[in-house]
Chains A and B, each alone.
Chain A
Amino acid sequence: MSGATLFIDAIAFWAPTLPGWEAARSAFRGESEPLATPAKRPAPEILAAAERRRAPDTVALALEVAAAAVRESGLDAATLPSVFTSAHGDLAINDYMCSTLATAPTLISPTKFHNSVHNAAAGYWTIGTGCHEASTALSAFDESFGAGLLEAATQCLAEARPVLLVAVDVEAAGALASVTDSTGLLACAIVLSPRAGERTVAAFDWSLVNTTTRAAPIRSPAARSLAGNAMAGALPLLEAIATARPDTDPIALPLTRSLALVLVPRSPLTTAAGQGS
């Protein structure tokens, strides 16, 4: 396949020490430091007031970045199909479910159970925005960002319409920490478009390439400080967009041991990256 191009209309980001894309962009460029005191978990306005505090971390983070990216894109959330990707889902809820099942299974909370589905954030997002479009929830272990971007780019190209990609992973909780290697909180959202527009932040030609290339390196100290999160696969792409160097190499996002989604930056990489709020 040739000639596939994806245009990025908006980016949102949230980590406790880089709470927002402007903070992350600046830190990835080496122009500022991550916060010394981590920010409080966001409380997305999309959720009903009663749900804002008790929402699982994955839901709170996903809705925060999804709302910020859609706002930046200028599009109506209700018109956007969405792809949610997470390697592990909500590890704190998994820990709760498995602990409770081991001790008092009949006491499982019905709310925690329905929040344990991998598509919980997608469900809350579509409910909160009144969106009836297709929504999916994916997992692909360490390749979850690449797999999510592939699905979003595929939908964008196949249906010729903008698509929202939301990627979140959280830290392992309880006994799960003995097997699941994910630290900190990391969330990002990207609005992809099939065509260039006045909000285009970056553009990439993309293809699947047979290669055993490892993931692109994470360059900045700020991004490296987040590398322990299971969604760290998003960082090389976000760094490339943040720095917008004219000599940016193609970015390989491994999908399997021998296949990668390869993004070749179009020149100029960025047209409006610095103009966002």
Chain B
Amino acid sequence: MPDPIAPLRIAAYTVTSAAGVGKAALLAALRSGRSALTPNDFGPTPLSTWIGRVASLEAAPLPRPLAAWECRNNRLAWLGLNGDAFIDAVHAARERHGAARIAVVLGTSTSSIGATEDAYRHLDGDGAFPADNRNPQVHTPHSLASFVQEALDLAGPSVTVSTACSSSAKVFATAERMLRLGLVDAAVVGGVDTLCGSVLFGFNALQLVSAEPCRPFDAERSGISIGEAAGFALLERADEAAESPAGLYLLGYGESSDAHHMSTPHPEGLGAERALDDALARAGIDCSAVDHINLHGTASAKNDEVEAALVARRFPATTHASSTKGVTGHTLGAAGIVEAAASLLAIEHGLRPGTANTRVLDPVCGPQVRIEAAQAPVRVALSNSFGFGGNNCVLVFGDANAGGSR
């Protein structure tokens, strides 16, 4: 078991999804249980499914100095960075620490591949990319973190984590290690994924896409609804936080591998449970301290079955567990940060979200999994993210009074 870590302060965070730009939009959707999913109208030949699409991205070009980075994913990154005055918080941190002392660690599954897909639809006479879509730094996974580093004018370590649907959860772990070792004094973490042909038609090929809005943990669930989102958090060591100890903290994380199958979870949730145990150990708490879990809850048959069984056998009935994917859709590489943000909102506002769209819970669910939202204090919230390749990450967040060993 890993040793407990010192909590990291979440100095600022923001989230943009189909529910809207900024934290207030997601909070309102979680409160009302409103699904932001709409019928799929993405791309030239849309599949019959539902998507979580961010409105008006097409009409939101990047500012001129950043225009070389133009693509849907970087547009969404820019829109997201401008939510909740996040850029101002980063600039203040840059003043405190210096640009080279702030890392940028961002997760994505497909980054700017949408721009690459576009290029393939418009190849020139020589079979080459069209002249207006030829920036090599866009057609590569690191497009995301290099764009954000330039947009924020930072100069510390910059890396893109791409482990499918756990990507923007694992960024917290990478940043925590850098901060603990004193390599940096702050880190911008988060992730961005946008709708593109690769994921819509790819998940469709795996028969994982639902024809209706996704219904996580429903007895009659029929697959996922794909969404897009951007989210960011600014992390600092708690001992250097300028303000009082009030606030929000990363308490722990756990990372593991299923070692089972590329696109199907381990049937007993072995990897997920290991990530859970490591996360609790780093936070210095046990399951009884967990008030709320934001479940991975994709509405795929297998994920929800395995995850519900894990929660049922490990957590007390008082833990309120739910999936927010009925609200935002499964935002893939951005799911980790979107659901980290939802967990932080739960702590800040005493809101335990419900499971939008779900009607009748699968009998495999224990009393922890809830359809209805509830208003009740949350001191400790967990967020689960599980990805292809059996790549798992569990995050633990808490308020200033949470945690067992402090």
Enumerate chain A interface residues (CB-CB to B < 8 A): 1, 4, 81, 87-89, 94, 97-99, 101-102, 105-106, 108-110, 113-120, 122-124, 126-127, 129-141, 143-144, 147, 150-151, 154-155, 157-159, 174-176, 178-181, 208, 210, 255-259
A138 and B181 contact, Cβ closer than 8 Å, known pairs A87-B140, A255-B157: no
A-B contact pairs, 28 of them (CB 8 A): A1-B181, A106-B204, A108-B201, A108-B204, A109-B205, A113-B206, A114-B206, A114-B262, A114-B388, A118-B163, A123-B390, A124-B262, A126-B258, A127-B390, A134-B255, A136-B163, A137-B163, A139-B140, A141-B137, A141-B146, A158-B177, A175-B123, A176-B116, A178-B129, A179-B136, A179-B139, A208-B157, A256-B155
In the assembled complex, B314 has its CB within 8 A of some CB on chain A = no
For A119, list chain B residues within 8 Å (CB).
162-164, 387-389, 391
Contacts beyond the supplied A119-B391, A135-B257, A180-B139: 12 A-B pairs with Cβ under 8 Å: A97-B202, A114-B206, A120-B389, A123-B257, A123-B390, A127-B262, A138-B162, A141-B140, A144-B142, A178-B126, A256-B155, A258-B155
Contact with A along B172-198 (1 / 0, CB 8 A): 011001101111000000000000011
Contact of A132 with B270 in the complex, beta carbons under 8 Å: yes
In the assembled complex, the Cα of A124 lies from the Cα of B207 at a distance in Å of: 21
In the assembled complex, the Cα of A102 lies from the Cα of B43 at a distance in Å of: 11
A132 and B197 contact, Cβ closer than 8 Å, known pairs A94-B116, A137-B162, A139-B142: no
In the assembled complex, B403 has its CB within 8 A of some CB on chain A = no
For B161, list chain A residues within 8 Å (CB).
136-138
For B134, list chain A residues within 8 Å (CB).
178-179
Closest 5 CB pairs of A and B: A123-B389, A113-B202, A118-B162, A134-B255, A178-B128
Contact of A259 with B255 in the complex, beta carbons under 8 Å: no
Contact of A101 with B129 in the complex, beta carbons under 8 Å: no
- Assign chain B's interface to a size class: 35 or more
In the assembled complex, B45 has its CB within 8 A of some CB on chain A = yes
Contact of B140 with A136 in the complex, beta carbons under 8 Å: no
Of B113, B135, B163, B270, the most chain A CB neighbours within 10 A belong to: B163
In the assembled complex, B363 has its CB within 8 A of some CB on chain A = no
In the assembled complex, B271 has its CB within 8 A of some CB on chain A = yes
For A137, list chain B residues within 8 Å (CB).
161-163
In the assembled complex, B149 has its CB within 8 A of some CB on chain A = yes
- Which residues B120-141 have CB closer than 8 A to chain A? 120-121, 123, 126-129, 134-137, 139-141
In the assembled complex, the Cα of A179 lies from the Cα of B109 at a distance in Å of: 20
In the assembled complex, the Cα of A135 lies from the Cα of B162 at a distance in Å of: 11
Min CB distance B153 to A, Å, is 12
List the B residue with the shortest CB-CB distance to A87. Answer: B140
Min CB distance B42 to A, Å, is 12
List the A residue with the shortest CB-CB distance to B2. Answer: A159
Contact of B113 with A132 in the complex, beta carbons under 8 Å: no
In the assembled complex, the Cα of A98 lies from the Cα of B139 at a distance in Å of: 12
For B313, list chain A residues within 8 Å (CB).
none
A113 and B205 contact, Cβ closer than 8 Å, known pairs A138-B160, A154-B181: yes
